[in-house]
Protein backbone atom coordinates (compact mmCIF):
# COMPACT_ATOMS: atom_id res chain seq x y z
CA UNK A 1 0.00 0.00 0.00
CA UNK A 2 2.82 2.42 0.83
CA UNK A 3 4.20 2.10 -2.70
CA UNK A 4 0.77 2.78 -4.19
CA UNK A 5 0.38 5.87 -2.02
CA UNK A 6 3.75 7.17 -3.19
CA UNK A 7 2.86 6.47 -6.83
CA UNK A 8 -0.45 8.31 -6.51
CA UNK A 9 1.26 11.32 -4.94
CA UNK A 10 4.02 11.25 -7.57
CA UNK A 11 1.76 11.10 -10.61
CA UNK A 12 -1.15 13.37 -9.61
CA UNK A 13 -1.59 16.98 -8.60
CA UNK A 14 -3.90 18.51 -6.02
CA UNK A 15 -6.63 20.23 -8.00
CA UNK A 16 -9.58 22.47 -7.25
CA UNK A 17 -10.31 23.21 -10.92
CA UNK A 18 -13.69 21.49 -11.00
CA UNK A 19 -17.32 21.95 -9.93
CA UNK A 20 -16.44 21.52 -6.26
CA UNK A 21 -13.54 23.94 -5.66
CA UNK A 22 -14.06 23.74 -1.90
CA UNK A 23 -12.77 20.18 -2.24
CA UNK A 24 -9.10 19.42 -2.95
CA UNK A 25 -8.54 16.23 -4.94
CA UNK A 26 -5.49 14.40 -6.21
CA UNK A 27 -6.14 14.03 -9.94
CA UNK A 28 -4.36 13.14 -13.15
CA UNK A 29 -4.57 16.25 -15.35
CA UNK A 30 -2.84 17.51 -18.51
CA UNK A 31 -0.33 19.20 -16.18
CA UNK A 32 0.89 15.76 -15.06
CA UNK A 33 3.72 14.02 -16.94
CA UNK A 34 1.78 10.76 -16.88
CA UNK A 35 -1.04 12.34 -18.91
CA UNK A 36 0.98 12.09 -22.14
CA UNK A 37 3.29 9.22 -21.17
CA UNK A 38 3.30 5.93 -23.12
CA UNK A 39 0.96 3.27 -21.77
CA UNK A 40 3.88 1.08 -20.77
CA UNK A 41 5.11 3.84 -18.45
CA UNK A 42 1.82 3.98 -16.55
CA UNK A 43 2.20 2.25 -13.17
CA UNK A 44 -1.59 1.97 -12.81
CA UNK A 45 -4.01 -0.32 -14.62
CA UNK A 46 -7.09 1.60 -15.80
CA UNK A 47 -6.74 4.51 -13.33
CA UNK A 48 -10.35 5.68 -13.58
CA UNK A 49 -10.00 6.92 -10.00
CA UNK A 50 -7.50 9.55 -11.18
CA UNK A 51 -10.15 11.51 -13.08
CA UNK A 52 -13.04 13.56 -11.75
CA UNK A 53 -15.69 12.48 -14.22
CA UNK A 54 -18.49 14.93 -15.14
CA UNK A 55 -21.27 12.91 -13.53
CA UNK A 56 -19.27 12.56 -10.35
CA UNK A 57 -18.62 16.30 -10.25
CA UNK A 58 -22.33 17.05 -10.63
CA UNK A 59 -23.33 14.56 -7.93
CA UNK A 60 -20.82 15.94 -5.43
CA UNK A 61 -21.84 19.52 -6.25
CA UNK A 62 -25.49 18.66 -5.67
CA UNK A 63 -24.71 17.09 -2.29
CA UNK A 64 -22.66 20.09 -1.19
CA UNK A 65 -25.54 22.38 -2.18
CA UNK A 66 -28.15 20.17 -0.48
CA UNK A 67 -26.45 18.89 2.65
CA UNK A 68 -29.76 18.20 4.36
CA UNK A 69 -30.18 15.17 2.10
CA UNK A 70 -27.23 13.41 3.71
CA UNK A 71 -27.08 14.87 7.22
CA UNK A 72 -27.11 12.09 9.83
CA UNK A 73 -27.67 9.49 7.11
CA UNK A 74 -25.61 6.57 5.84
CA UNK A 75 -24.39 7.35 2.33
CA UNK A 76 -22.66 5.00 -0.12
CA UNK A 77 -20.79 6.37 -3.14
CA UNK A 78 -20.82 3.42 -5.55
CA UNK A 79 -17.98 3.32 -8.07
CA UNK A 80 -16.47 6.16 -6.09
CA UNK A 81 -13.30 6.67 -8.14
CA UNK A 82 -11.53 9.58 -6.46
CA UNK A 83 -14.03 9.48 -3.59
CA UNK A 84 -15.58 12.90 -4.17
CA UNK A 85 -19.17 11.78 -3.56
CA UNK A 86 -18.32 10.22 -0.20
CA UNK A 87 -16.21 13.24 0.73
CA UNK A 88 -19.09 15.58 -0.14
CA UNK A 89 -21.38 13.48 2.06
CA UNK A 90 -18.88 13.65 4.92
CA UNK A 91 -18.72 17.43 4.47
CA UNK A 92 -22.51 17.38 4.72
CA UNK A 93 -22.33 15.68 8.12
CA UNK A 94 -23.44 12.25 6.99
CA UNK A 95 -23.58 9.79 9.87
CA UNK A 96 -21.39 7.51 7.76
CA UNK A 97 -19.99 8.15 4.28
CA UNK A 98 -18.71 5.10 2.41
CA UNK A 99 -16.48 5.23 -0.67
CA UNK A 100 -17.07 1.98 -2.58
CA UNK A 101 -15.05 0.79 -5.57
CA UNK A 102 -13.87 -2.62 -6.74
CA UNK A 103 -10.48 -1.09 -7.65
CA UNK A 104 -8.30 -1.18 -4.51
CA UNK A 105 -6.23 1.75 -5.78
CA UNK A 106 -9.41 3.84 -5.94
CA UNK A 107 -9.93 3.06 -2.26
CA UNK A 108 -6.44 4.31 -1.43
CA UNK A 109 -6.95 7.44 -3.55
CA UNK A 110 -10.28 8.11 -1.84
CA UNK A 111 -8.65 7.85 1.58
CA UNK A 112 -5.88 10.24 0.53
CA UNK A 113 -8.44 12.71 -0.79
CA UNK A 114 -10.51 12.48 2.38
CA UNK A 115 -7.41 13.27 4.42
CA UNK A 116 -6.69 16.25 2.16
CA UNK A 117 -10.11 17.62 3.06
CA UNK A 118 -9.99 16.84 6.76
CA UNK A 119 -12.93 14.43 6.77
CA UNK A 120 -13.32 10.79 7.72
CA UNK A 121 -14.85 8.27 5.34
CA UNK A 122 -15.32 4.52 5.42
CA UNK A 123 -14.32 2.41 2.42
CA UNK A 124 -15.42 -0.82 0.79
CA UNK A 125 -13.99 -2.72 -2.19
CA UNK A 126 -16.94 -5.15 -2.33
CA UNK A 127 -19.02 -5.36 -5.49
CA UNK A 128 -22.23 -4.05 -3.96
CA UNK A 129 -24.32 -4.27 -7.12
CA UNK A 130 -26.98 -6.99 -6.70
CA UNK A 131 -26.54 -6.98 -2.91
CA UNK A 132 -28.76 -5.53 -0.20
CA UNK A 133 -26.73 -2.75 1.36
CA UNK A 134 -27.54 -1.05 4.62
CA UNK A 135 -27.69 2.64 3.77
CA UNK A 136 -30.06 5.56 3.32
CA UNK A 137 -28.56 7.22 0.25
CA UNK A 138 -26.87 5.75 -2.84
CA UNK A 139 -24.72 8.01 -5.02
CA UNK A 140 -23.73 7.00 -8.55
CA UNK A 141 -21.57 9.36 -10.58
CA UNK A 142 -20.87 8.62 -14.26
CA UNK A 143 -21.36 4.86 -14.09
CA UNK A 144 -23.68 4.38 -17.09
CA UNK A 145 -20.89 4.24 -19.67
CA UNK A 146 -21.38 0.60 -20.72
CA UNK A 147 -24.75 -0.81 -21.77
CA UNK A 148 -24.26 -4.27 -20.28
CA UNK A 149 -23.12 -2.92 -16.92
CA UNK A 150 -25.71 -0.13 -17.03
CA UNK A 151 -28.47 -2.75 -17.28
CA UNK A 152 -27.18 -4.58 -14.22
CA UNK A 153 -26.53 -1.39 -12.28
CA UNK A 154 -29.86 0.24 -13.08
CA UNK A 155 -31.82 -2.86 -12.05
CA UNK A 156 -30.07 -2.82 -8.68
CA UNK A 157 -30.59 0.92 -8.25
CA UNK A 158 -34.28 0.49 -9.02
CA UNK A 159 -34.58 -2.14 -6.30
CA UNK A 160 -32.70 0.15 -3.91
CA UNK A 161 -35.13 2.99 -4.60
CA UNK A 162 -38.09 0.68 -3.99
CA UNK A 163 -36.53 -0.26 -0.65
CA UNK A 164 -36.80 3.39 0.34
CA UNK A 165 -33.27 4.54 -0.40
CA UNK A 166 -32.60 7.92 -1.98
CA UNK A 167 -30.79 7.13 -5.24
CA UNK A 168 -28.98 10.02 -6.94
CA UNK A 169 -27.39 9.60 -10.37
CA UNK A 170 -24.97 12.04 -11.97
CA UNK A 171 -24.53 11.73 -15.73
CA UNK A 172 -23.38 13.95 -18.63
CA UNK A 173 -25.29 12.01 -21.29
CA UNK A 174 -23.62 8.60 -21.49
CA UNK A 175 -25.22 6.15 -23.90
CA UNK A 176 -26.18 3.87 -21.02
CA UNK A 177 -28.75 6.42 -19.87
CA UNK A 178 -31.38 5.48 -22.44
CA UNK A 179 -34.72 7.18 -22.92
CA UNK A 180 -36.45 4.30 -21.16
CA UNK A 181 -34.21 4.71 -18.13
CA UNK A 182 -34.61 8.49 -18.15
CA UNK A 183 -38.37 7.99 -17.92
CA UNK A 184 -37.79 6.50 -14.45
CA UNK A 185 -35.84 9.55 -13.27
CA UNK A 186 -36.64 13.02 -11.97
CA UNK A 187 -34.22 15.77 -12.99
CA UNK A 188 -32.87 17.62 -9.95
CA UNK A 189 -30.25 19.86 -11.48
CA UNK A 190 -28.02 20.63 -14.46
CA UNK A 191 -24.48 21.91 -14.03
CA UNK A 192 -22.36 23.55 -16.76
CA UNK A 193 -18.94 21.92 -16.72
CA UNK A 194 -15.69 23.87 -16.32
CA UNK A 195 -13.73 24.45 -19.52
CA UNK A 196 -10.98 22.00 -18.59
CA UNK A 197 -13.50 19.27 -17.83
CA UNK A 198 -15.17 19.78 -21.22
CA UNK A 199 -11.84 19.46 -23.01
CA UNK A 200 -10.86 16.36 -21.05
CA UNK A 201 -14.21 14.63 -21.65
CA UNK A 202 -14.75 14.76 -25.40
CA UNK A 203 -16.92 17.84 -25.50
CA UNK A 204 -19.51 17.17 -22.80
CA UNK A 205 -20.69 20.61 -21.74
CA UNK A 206 -22.90 19.88 -18.75
CA UNK A 207 -23.94 17.12 -16.39
CA UNK A 208 -27.29 16.31 -14.82
CA UNK A 209 -28.25 14.98 -11.43
CA UNK A 210 -31.26 12.70 -11.36
CA UNK A 211 -33.30 11.05 -8.65
CA UNK A 212 -34.50 7.53 -9.35
CA UNK A 213 -38.23 7.21 -8.75
CA UNK A 214 -39.39 4.50 -6.38
CA UNK A 215 -42.40 3.42 -8.45
Q: pLDDT tens-digit profile of 94-131?
A: 999 999 999 999 999 999 999 999 999 999 999 999 99
User: How many independent structural domains does the chain possess?
Assistant: 1
Q: Distances from the Cα of 148 to the Cαs of 45, 51, 131, 151, 177, in angstroms?
A: 21, 22, 18, 5, 12
Across 191-201, b (16+ Cβ under 10 Å) vs e yields bebbeebbebb
22 has a pLDDT exceeding 80: yes
Cβ–Cβ under 8 Å, residues 124 and 102: no
Highest mean pLDDT among 83-92, 142-151, 187-196: 83-92
Lowest mean pLDDT among 19-28, 58-67, 174-183, 200-209: 200-209
For residue 147, the model assigns a pLDDT of: 86
Q: What would the mean pLDDT of 2-6 be, rounded to a whole number?
A: 89
148 has a pLDDT exceeding 90: no
Q: pLDDT tens-digit profile of 158-203?
A: 999 999 999 999 999 998 999 999 999 999 999 999 988 887 777 7
pTM of the predicted protein model? 0.96
23 has a pLDDT exceeding 80: yes
CATH of residue 108: 3.40.50.150
Domain that holds residue 185: 2-212
Highest mean pLDDT among 96-105, 127-136, 146-155: 96-105
For residue 207, the model assigns a pLDDT of: 97
From CA 60, how far away is CA 31, in angstroms rounded? 23
Q: What would the mean pLDDT of 52-76 be, rounded to a whole number?
A: 98
From CA 213, how far away is CA 28, in angstroms rounded? 35
Q: What would the mean pLDDT of 150-158 be, rounded to a whole number?
A: 95
For residue 200, the model assigns a pLDDT of: 76
State the angle between helix axes of 2-11 and 104-116 in degrees (0 to 180), rounded to the nearest 10.
Answer: 70
Amino acid sequence: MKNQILQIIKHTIVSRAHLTPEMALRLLTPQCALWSAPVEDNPFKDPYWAFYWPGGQATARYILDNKHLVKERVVIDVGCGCGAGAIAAAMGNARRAVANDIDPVAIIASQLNAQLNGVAIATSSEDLVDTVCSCDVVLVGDMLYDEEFADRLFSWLTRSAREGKLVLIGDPGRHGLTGERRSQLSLLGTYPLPKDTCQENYGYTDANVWRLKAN
